[in-house]
């Protein structure tokens, strides 16, 4: 399953964002080519053009291909640019090529979302038998759930972090409030960026519950039953309506619409403190307002440190590495860490799945074009 996904993902990673140069045809090419199972425009370009990343030239010369990510076995593609040979679409009985089905990556995804505020959401006020935690099959008691009907389903979510465009989120306590002193360990990084604009609050899915009974006389809460198989629920968790389809059914890997260099960073690694690797979910500091959409591919880079110049200042007592440059230090280049594909976007924050890498992906790392070399 993952092998197929990585093949398509590699195509997206190698695709450049600019392709205005005219394609040079390789010798002996046919006038038309019939798409076969497993083909991508990248593969076809590699076979018939001298530069495979110029596949958009083939797309532009074939107006019947409305979406370059949707080609099918049996499609006839013209390779004669001047006198465009008649072309025809193939049968549409099979799934499109180039697309990554949700089923290939869904087991690795994390159901998280970002909102501007959560204070007005219904919240868990009590648990069955006054438990500290409630597991599946037990009642939970919720305030503020007016107008719900028996059988209606709700997602139980927990405020987990407050995102700013500092390269580190702030963890929240059970009430959804910032933990005092928690940001101190990131003081050096925050001072380096000089940023702190609010991006949103992260809500993590805990469980799903079914509405069974509304407010009865003498009480202020509605009753719901938690599903078996989810995480434990606690007082302070919030409720939102169930999202029937939180993810796209297919993803089409592509470079970002705008150059992200110096603008976007890793905010958090799901279910981890600072680091993750392939198949881990990360939150990034860019969303729909930044031109990020589902399928966008980024490369992730470790920021170059500024090491003490021991050759020039052998007796210096300064620390070896610093997030800041300055006299007596040697600035080192950024280094590639991994590639990630966005699978869920919000206005200012998105979630991406780390697909491959050569080292850990860490909070604060910078996002760049997938073809970036430094």
Q: DSSP 3-state assignment of 103? A: helix
> Of 132-141, 210-219, 250-259, which has the strongest mean pLDDT?
210-219
Q: Which CATH architecture has domain 2-98?
A: Roll (3.10)
Which two structure tokens, joined as six digits, stand for 82?
Answer: 């001047």
Which two structure tokens, joined as six digits, stand for 229?
Answer: 């198989």
- For the segment 352-370, the average pLDDT, to the nearest whole number, is 93
- For the segment 265-269, the average pLDDT, to the nearest whole number, is 94
What's the confidence (pLDDT) of residue 337? 96
What's the confidence (pLDDT) of residue 165? 82
What's the confidence (pLDDT) of residue 13? 43
Mean pLDDT of the chain: 79
Q: DSSP 3-state assignment of 192? A: helix
Nearest to 177 by CA among 192, 161, 190: 161
What's the confidence (pLDDT) of residue 133? 87
* pLDDT at 200 exceeding the cut of 90: yes
Question: How many Å apart are CA 19 and CA 32, to the nearest integer?
Answer: 22
Q: How far is CA 326 from CA 262, 306, 347, 371, in A?
A: 19, 8, 36, 30
Range 55-61 contact pairs with CB under 8 angstroms and sequence separation of 24 or more: 55/15, 55/19, 56/19, 57/19, 57/22, 57/23, 57/81, 58/23
Q: Where are the domains of the chain?
A: 2-98, 112-241, 252-368
Q: How far is CA 319 from CA 188, 206, 307, 322, 323, in A?
A: 13, 42, 8, 7, 11
**CB-based burial, 96-131: b 16+ in 10 Å, e otherwise:** ebbbbeeebbeebbbbbbbbeebeebbbbbbbeeeb
What's the confidence (pLDDT) of residue 252? 78
**Cα-Cα end-to-end distance for the chain:** 32
What's the confidence (pLDDT) of residue 369? 92
pTM of the full structure: 0.73
Nearest to 372 by CA among 295, 300, 280: 300
What's the confidence (pLDDT) of residue 202? 95
Specify whether the CB–CB gap between 367 and 264 falls below 8 A. yes
- For the segment 286-304, the average pLDDT, to the nearest whole number, is 93
- The answer to which of 234-248, 253-267, 309-323 has the lowest mean pLDDT is 309-323
What's the confidence (pLDDT) of residue 80? 64
Q: DSSP 3-state assignment of 187? A: helix
Measured in degrees and rounded to the nearest 5, phi and psi for residue 108 equal -100, -10
Q: How deeply is 32 buried, as exposed, middle or buried, from its count of CB atoms within 10 A (0-12, 13-18, 19+)?
A: middle
* pLDDT at 231 exceeding the cut of 70: yes
* pLDDT at 294 exceeding the cut of 70: yes
Measured in degrees and rounded to the nearest 5, phi and psi for residue 129 equal 60, 30
What's the confidence (pLDDT) of residue 69? 61
Question: How many Å apart are CA 296 and CA 344, to the nearest integer?
Answer: 10
Specify whether the CB–CB gap between 158 and 203 falls below 8 A. yes
- For the segment 334-341, the average pLDDT, to the nearest whole number, is 94
- For the segment 307-321, the average pLDDT, to the nearest whole number, is 74
- For the segment 350-366, the average pLDDT, to the nearest whole number, is 94
Predicted confidence (pLDDT) per residue in 47-80, tens digit: 776 554 455 666 667 777 766 666 778 888 777 6
Question: How many Å apart are CA 101 and CA 217, to the nearest integer?
Answer: 49
- The answer to which of 216-225, 309-318, 358-367 has the lowest mean pLDDT is 309-318
Q: How far is CA 316 from CA 103, 188, 310, 321, in A?
A: 56, 20, 7, 13
- For the segment 364-370, the average pLDDT, to the nearest whole number, is 93
pLDDT band at 191 (very low <50, low <70, confident <90, very high): very low
What's the confidence (pLDDT) of residue 306? 82
What's the confidence (pLDDT) of residue 227? 94
> How many residues are given for the chain?
374
Predicted confidence (pLDDT) per residue in 82-140, tens digit: 344 344 555 444 444 456 788 889 999 999 999 999 999 999 999 998 888 888 889 99
* pLDDT at 276 exceeding the cut of 60: yes
- The answer to which of 83-87, 143-147, 319-323 has the lowest mean pLDDT is 83-87
């Amino acid at each position: 399953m993952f092998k197929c996904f990585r093949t398509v993902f590699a195509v997206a990673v190698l695709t450049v964002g600019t392709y205005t140069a005219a394609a040079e045809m390789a010798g002996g090419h046919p006038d038309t080519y019939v798409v076969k199972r497993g083909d991508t425009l990248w593969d076809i370009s590699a076979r018939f053009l001298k530069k495979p990343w110029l596949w958009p030239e083939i797309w532009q010369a074939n107006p019947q291909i409305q979406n370059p990510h949707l080609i099918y076995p049996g499609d006839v593609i013209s390779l004669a640019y001047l006198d465009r040979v008649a072309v025809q679409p193939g049968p549409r009985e099979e799934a499109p090529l180039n697309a990554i089905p949700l089923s290939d990556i869904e087991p690795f995804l994390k159901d998280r979302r970002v909102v501007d505020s959560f204070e007005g959401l219904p919240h868990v006020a009590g648990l069955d038998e006054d438990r500290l935690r409630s597991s599946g099959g037990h009642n939970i008691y919720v305030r503020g759930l007016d107008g719900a009907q028996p059988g209606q389903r709700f997602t139980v979510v927990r405020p987990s972090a407050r995102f700013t465009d500092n390269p580190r989120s702030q963890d929240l306590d059970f009430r959804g409030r910032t933990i005092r002193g928690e940001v101190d360990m990131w003081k050096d990084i925050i001072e380096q960026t000089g940023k702190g604009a609010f991006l949103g609050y992260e809500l993590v899915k805990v469980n799903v519950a079914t509405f069974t009974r509304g407010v009865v006389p003498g009480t202020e809460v509605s009753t719901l039953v938690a599903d078996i198989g989810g995480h434990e629920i606690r007082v302070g968790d919030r409720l939102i309506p169930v999202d029937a389809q939180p993810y796209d059914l297919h993803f089409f890997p592509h470079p970002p619409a705008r150059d992200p260099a110096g603008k976007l960073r890793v905010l958090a690694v799901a279910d981890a403190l600072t680091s993750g690797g392939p198949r881990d979910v990360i939150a990034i500091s860019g969303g729909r307002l930044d031109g990020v959409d589902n399928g966008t591919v980024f490369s992730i880079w470790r920021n170059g440190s500024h090491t003490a110049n021991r050759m020039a200042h052998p007796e210096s007592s300064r620390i070896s590495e610093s997030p800041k440059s300055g006299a007596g230090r040697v600035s080192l280049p950024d280094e590639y860490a991994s590639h990630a594909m966005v699978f869920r976007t919000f206005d200012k924050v998105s979630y991406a799945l780390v697909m491959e890498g050569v080292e850990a992906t860490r909070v604060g790392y910078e996002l760049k074009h997938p073809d970036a070399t430094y």
